[in-house]
Every structure is written in structure tokens, then in C-alpha cells.
């Protein structure tokens, strides 16, 4: 993780704990100049993560869904926001310059895109409109969109041609979301039409990283797409049930558990 990325993460963590913080306090905490802190805050504000106030900053309130994010109303993104945001931040820190990254559909992957470092140079393949929009404003990212029909209820852009594009592009990492995680019945999602997209993203990547808040453990949704053994890493919150923690460890899955 770069020095800049680490400092941005520290700023966000401090804002989560304190609600708001001043430029002076950040300058003292980071051992850097107020001018540098203001640049960091400017970038974070441009990315929609924080809001600057006189002399400091506060976190953007993800519960306040405005017209710019109106597609999110009534969606899964409104649930477990704190956990998804922390998971997204952790996942984004695993992205390195020069990599090609796949982004699955899902509410948690939206937060990953939001926290991707502003100036990082990567290739990104997106299957949802909002993820693409989030990365579009980070101009060093080579954005690959699958194209096709926009499904407004899930924000998915899909087509047979889009599946072929995913098949042709090999990614270093893919971030996969899920509707349910069950020891016996595996990883499931809500719609059959999503299965082929998830499977193709997984099969085209060196490393499959599942991102999920702990509410999904023990849950089964209608459409099966993978066994637990098919993932390489899991990023989740500290409320993961102990039995699932043990199961993933026995499968050799890398566990990354974010703090509150």
C-alpha cells in the first residue's frame, strides 16, 4: 500500500471514530503539512467519500440517498452500510498499479470502486453502471465495460457479447459478491441470469476474492453459482460465525477480517 493510500485510509478511519475532524488535527496525526492534508481531503471529497466543512471534514452520509445515487434507493446498499464500507476500503487497498481487476455486480463491490485510489493506474472491467460511473472519474483507470442491456432493478449491464468480452480478458483479481453463504449449499445469488456473469468472471481471474458482510452467512438465495472451495480469499467483518471461520481456514481460503 502506498504512503498516500495509507494516509487516506487513516483519515477515513479517524472520521469513522470521531464523526468529524479538523485539518489541524489531521496534520498533527499524519505528521504532514496542512496543505498536504487539504489535498487529501480534496481528493476524498471528489470521490464522494467525505464532505469538507470549515476547517475540516466529515464523512459523506451513505444513508442520505440523493438524486445522483437514486438507483440505490430500496437496494441492498442501504443495509449493513458500515460493514460494506469497511470491506470496500480493505478490498480497494489490495489493488496494485498495473493490475487488471474485475468487479462483479453487487452492493459491496460498489464500495470497492468508491475507495479505489484516485490516481492509480489499473485496468478495470465492470458489469454494472454505477461501478463504471464511480471509476470513470478516476482518469488513470482504463475502464472496460461489457455493454448490453441495462437492468435497472440490479444496475447490471448484460449481453451475450459482454460475456465474450469477460472471457477474453484475464484479470489479476476479481471481487465477487454473494447473496448467501452456506456450508452445504455454497455461494448463491438472487437471479439465474447473474450466475453466468459470476462464473465467467471467476474463471477468467488469477485470484477470486469474495466480499461479504457477515449477515450473509447461513443464508441461501435461489441461484447457486460456486462452492466455498472455489474462492481464494474472503473479506468480511468480525461477526463472521466461528464455524464458518474454521471451515474457510480448513479449505485454505485466505481470511481478511475488517475491524469495527
| DSSP-derived pairing of the beta strands 205-211 and 233-237 | parallel
pLDDT of residue 61: 56
Same domain? 8 vs 102: no
- Mention every residue, 6+ apart, whose C-beta is less than 8 A from residue 54: none
pTM across the whole model? 0.77
| DSSP-derived pairing of the beta strands 186-189 and 223-226 | antiparallel
Same domain? 193 vs 247: yes
Query: What percent of the chain clears pLDDT 90, i.e. is strictly above it?
Result: 60
Same domain? 45 vs 165: no
Same domain? 52 vs 82: no
pLDDT of residue 50: 83
Reported as type and span, the H/E element at residue 186 is strand 186-189
pLDDT of residue 14: 84
Q: What is the mean pLDDT of residues 103-125?
A: 92
Answer yes or no: is pLDDT of 69 > 70: no
Q: Is 105 exposed, middle or buried (0-12, 13-18, 19+ CB in 10 A)?
A: buried
Encode pLDDT of 217-226 as tens digits: 999 999 999 9
Same domain? 11 vs 97: no
Residue ranges in 23-65 assigned as alpha helix (H): 23-30, 34-46
Here the CATH number for the domain that contains residue 29 is 1.10.10.10
Same domain? 8 vs 83: no
Nearest of 79, 221, 109 to residue 173 by alpha carbon: 109
pLDDT of residue 237: 94
pLDDT of residue 218: 96
Same domain? 140 vs 247: yes
pLDDT of residue 102: 98
3-state helix, strand, coil in the chain (%, to 5): 45, 25, 30
Answer yes or no: is pLDDT of 1 > 70: no
Mean pLDDT of the chain: 88
Same domain? 42 vs 114: no
Same domain? 55 vs 118: no
Q: Which has more pLDDT, 204 or 68?
A: 204
Structural domain for 54, as ranges: 3-59
Q: What is the mean pLDDT of residues 120-146?
A: 93
Q: Which has more pLDDT, 137 or 219?
A: 219
Q: What is the mean pLDDT of residues 63-84?
A: 50
Domain count, the chain: 2
Encode pLDDT of 139-177 as tens digits: 899 999 998 999 887 889 999 999 999 999 999 999 999
- Alpha carbons 90 and 237: distance in angstroms, whole number: 11
Q: What is the mean pLDDT of residues 23-41?
A: 90
Q: Which has more pLDDT, 201 or 2?
A: 201
Same domain? 45 vs 78: no
Amino acid at each position: 500500500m502506498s504512503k498516500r493510500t495509507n494516509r487516506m485510509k487513516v483519515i477515513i478511519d479517524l472520521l469513522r471514530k470521531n464523526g468529524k475532524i479538523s485539518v489541524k488535527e489531521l496534520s498533527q496525526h499524519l505528521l504532514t503539512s496542512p496543505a498536504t492534508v487539504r489535498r487529501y481531503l480534496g481528493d476524498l471529497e471528489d470521490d464522494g467519500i467525505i464532505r469538507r466543512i470549515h476547517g475540516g471534514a466529515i464523512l459523506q452520509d451513505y444513508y442520505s440517498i440523493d438524486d445522483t445515487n437514486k438507483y440505490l434507493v430500496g437496494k441492498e446498499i442501504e443495509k449493513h452500510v458500515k460493514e460494506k464500507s469497511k470491506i470496500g476500503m480493505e478490498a480497494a487497498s489490495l489493488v496494485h498499479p498495473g493490475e487488471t481487476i474485475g468487479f462483479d455486480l453487487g452492493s459491496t463491490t460498489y464500495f470497492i470502486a468508491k475507495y479505489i485510489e484516485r490516481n492509480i493506474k489499473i485496468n478495470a472491467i465492470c458489469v454494472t453502471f454505477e461501478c463504471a460511473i464511480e471509476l470513470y472519474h478516476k482518469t488513470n483507470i482504463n475502464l472496460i465495460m461489457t455493454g448490453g442491456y441495462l437492468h435497472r432493478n440490479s444496475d447490471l449491464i448484460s449481453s451475450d457479447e459482454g460475456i465474450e468480452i469477460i472471457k477474453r480478458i484475464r484479470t489479476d483479481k476479481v471481487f465477487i459478491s454473494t447473496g448467501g453463504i452456506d456450508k452445504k449449499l455454497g455461494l448463491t445469488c438472487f437471479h439465474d441470469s447473474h450466475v453466468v456473469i459470476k462464473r465467467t468472471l471467476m474463471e477468467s481471474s488469477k485470484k477470486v476474492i469474495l466480499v461479504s458482510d457477515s449477515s450473509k452467512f447461513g443464508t441461501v438465495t435461489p441461484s447457486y453459482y460456486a462452492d466455498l472451495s472455489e474462492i481464494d480469499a474472503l473479506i468480511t467483518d468480525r461477526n463472521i460465525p466461528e464455524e464458518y471461520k474454521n471451515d474457510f481456514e480448513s479449505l485454505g481460503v485466505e481470511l481478511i477480517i475488517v475491524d469495527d
